[in-house]
Amino acid sequence: MSAPIKIRAQIQGETADVRILMQHPMETGQRKDENGQTVPMNFIQNFTVSLNGKAVIDGQLNTSISRNPLFTFKARGIKAGDKLSVTWTDNLGERRQDDTVVA
């Protein structure tokens, strides 16, 4: 199983700064290991950010994104006690979901 998704939300007035770190190798399939063998493709294809069970961001990634992608955005309407959830699925079918309660 992959490492937990790190989710941070900091409320500043009417908006919240949200930071999401999805820990994943994001292999392109073009890199070679120390033995000269090609490292197979392994990257996040889809991710969803939900607020209290309702999707607010639904995105697609590809091999051009670096290892351990970090996403930041500002959003209105997030308040203390709300539940933020992030789910991703990679090209190998692995799936990860983590959530946090906004403080």
The CA distance from 26 to 45, in Å, is: 10
Query: What is the pLDDT confidence band of residue 45, given thresholds at 50, 70 and 90?
Result: very high
Does the pTM surpass 0.95? The reply is no
Q: What is the pLDDT of residue 64?
A: 85
Report the domain count for the chain: 1
Q: What is the pLDDT of residue 2?
A: 82
- Domain carrying residue 15: 6-29+39-101
Q: Is residue 34 part of a domain?
A: no
CATH at 86:
2.60.40.10
Q: Is residue 55 part of a domain?
A: yes
Residue 79: Cβ-neighbour burial (10 angstroms; 0-12, 13-18, 19+): exposed
Q: Is residue 17 part of a domain?
A: yes
What is the mean predicted confidence (pLDDT) over 14-41?
96
Q: Is residue 12 part of a domain?
A: yes
Phi, psi for 96 (deg, rounded to 5): -140, 135
